[in-house]
Structure 1
Amino acid sequence: MTETVREEAPTAGKPSGGLLEIRDLMVVFDGFKAINGVDLTVGEGELRFLIGPNGAGKTTLIDVITGLTKPTSGTVTFAGASLVGRKEHQIVRMGVGRTFQTSVVFEELSVLENIDLAATFRNPLVKLLRRRRGVSDEVAAALATIGLEDLADKPAGILSHGQRQWLEIGMLIAQGPKLLLLDEPVAGMSKDERERTGELLTEIARDHTVIVIEHDMEFLRRYASTVTVLHEGSVLVEGDVAAVQADPKVQEVYLGRKKEDAA
């Protein structure tokens, strides 16, 4: 299950720029520069799309932010506090939530129980083992946001691929993160599911900062505002969708690889 819960961030003053600040980040694996001097600023309440060819460093960048991968050098600051050197669970408790390309839910539990468990996992074990009465406001709000109220009492195992992704997002929301990192949330979805997911991300971004790794260019054109393009571990270009699509470098190294997507 994906974890996210808040704790008081270490005292380090308010962030001077964006909610997330990355400076001169390097990640080297056996001489290979997976991340090569990345600078990135993501503001509070922003819906940022992160794109690039396979091997560009997108997932590695997210792994660094969440503590899964240790950077070779550089800084990563979240809400004024450094993330470098912190363990994954510490970063989670600072308010950073993440989904992966393959959704992880408890199939035998109901949709409601999955969200409820995600929202209350911070509680002591004894309290978790007690039968809960009623539904908390946080759980009810998360369920309403993802639009699965009609399936609340159904086992998660019956959900479609898209619905599983929405459930995992709901599990994150119920835990109150400041930053959500979503890795290819619409991969494998139907057209209707992609549309609903785009609407969901737009809604979530009203109260959260969201970074989305995505390959679906049609989805990107419809829902992205600010886009960062990575190539060979570095930021190639950054800007709105129109500017990114028109950039010759992007067309050559990314869009040009799938001309039908760039049309």
Structure 2
Amino acid sequence: MTVLLEVRGLRVVFDGFAAVDGLDLTVEEGELRFLIGPNGAGKTTLVDVVTGLTRPVAGSVRFAGRELVGKREHEVVRLGVGRTFQTATVFEELTVVENLDLAACFRMPLRSLLRRRRGVSDEVAAALAETGLTALADRPAGVLPHGQRRWLEIGMLLVQRPRLLLLDEPVAGMSRAERERTGELLHRVAAARTVVVVEHDMEFLRRYARKVTVLHQGRVLREGSVAEVQADPEVREVYLGRAGGRAVG
């Protein structure tokens, strides 16, 4: 398979503390990868570096063969990397379809925006269908429940046509039914794109993860299937065991 994201020797230091300390990571195109680890393991910092929010003191981050370190956030997005944050970010006063349409305009040159026809574009319609929000297209985003806001946020990434989606704790605060629908959505999205999910919900991970990377103290501790990661004694000691027996059973 083709390597899409390649991180080598990444080091990020905040006030003398190494949040990421010589991290190496490879993600192949078409993967659905989960990142787990205790608080402070470096998960969100890694995503921040990839997306241009944080500059490392050392190391390389290559996406589709191009170096990302030193690029600004909008440059990373234009190269095909999209992300969500731990808190859903949508325009509450706009409708669902208006949020998607605004996100879709990001890649358009000014002349295309001026000629943009009225109505729902094919890409917006596809995102509505993929996220299950078609029936809510004209509803203000501000009245959506938490789960639907998260799905809208993912839809806003999809219309930007990314090759890589980085999702930070997408099921935090969701009901069981919402988590199940989100897991199904992730598998649909990953059928045509590469998806990396930062997650703490172990039940969700066991059900939907394909490959897992465990981070600890800013480095990769273990990689493998859910079963392989759960069976690793060191992983159980530094992370999974802290969540109690339900996390490793």
State the Cα deviation string for residues 137-192 of structure 1 (Å, max 9, x = none).
11110110000111111111111100000000001001100000000000000000
Give me the whole-angstrom Cα distance separating, in 1, the residues matched to 2:140 and 2:242. 41
Q: Which of the residues 204, 210, 214 maps onto 1:219?
A: 204
Question: Quick check: 1:27 aligned with 2:12?
Answer: yes
Shift of 1:129: 6.9
Q: Greater helix percent: which structure?
A: 2
Task: Pick the aligned partner of 1:78 from 63, 68, 84.
Answer: 63
1:261 aligns with 2:247: yes
CA distance 1:213–1:65, shift in 2 (3 Å): same
1:168-183 superposed matches below 5 A = 168-183=153-168
Distance 1:185 1:134, change over 3 A: same
Query: What are the equivalent positions in structure 2 for 1:101-250 lying under 5 Å apart?
Result: 101-124=86-109, 128=113, 132-250=117-235
* Segments ≥4 residues shifted beyond 6 Å: none
Q: 1:109 to 1:223 in 2, by over 3 A?
A: same
RMSD: 1.5
Between Structure 1 and Structure 2, how many residues are aligned? Answer: 248
Alignment-derived partner of residue 69 in structure 1 = 54
Q: Deviations over 1:203-237 (max 9, x none)?
A: 10011100000000000000001000000111110
Distance in 2 between residues matched to 1:222 and 1:45, nearest whole Å? 19
Q: 1 CA distance for matches of 2:117 and 2:2? A: 41
**Deviation, structure 1 residue 32:** 0.9
Mapped contact 2:106–2:160 kept (Cα < 8 A) = no
Percent identical among aligned pairs is 71
Residue of structure 2 aligned with 1:53, choices 20, 26, 38: 38
Match of 2:74 among 79, 85, 89: 89
Question: TM-score when scaled to structure 1?
Answer: 0.91
* Contact persistence 1:121–1:128 (CA under 8 A): no
Please say if residues 168 and 199 of structure 2, whose CA atoms lie closer than 8 Å, have aligned partners that are also in contact. Answer: yes
Give SS of 1:19's match.
strand
- Hey, what's the Cα distance between the residues in 1 that align with 2:14 and 2:77? 25
Report the AA paired with residue 73 of structure 2: E
Partner of 1:42: 27
Q: 1:131 to 1:93 in 2, by over 3 A?
A: closer
Task: Report the Cα distance in structure 2 between the residues aligned to 1:93 and 1:123, rounded to whole angstroms.
Answer: 11
What's the CA shift for 1:258? 1.2
Stretch deviating more after TM superposition (126-135 or 147-156): 126-135
CA distance in 1, matches of 2:91, 2:111: 21
Gaps of 5+ in 1: 1-15
CA distance in 2, matches of 1:128, 1:109: 18
Matching residue of 1:251: 236
CA drift of 1:126 comes to 7.5
Conservation of the 8 A alpha-carbon contact between 1:101 and 1:185 = yes
TM-score (normalised: structure 2): 0.96
Mapped partners of 1:213, 1:122: distance in 2: 26
Q: Aligned-pair distance for 1:261?
A: 2.0
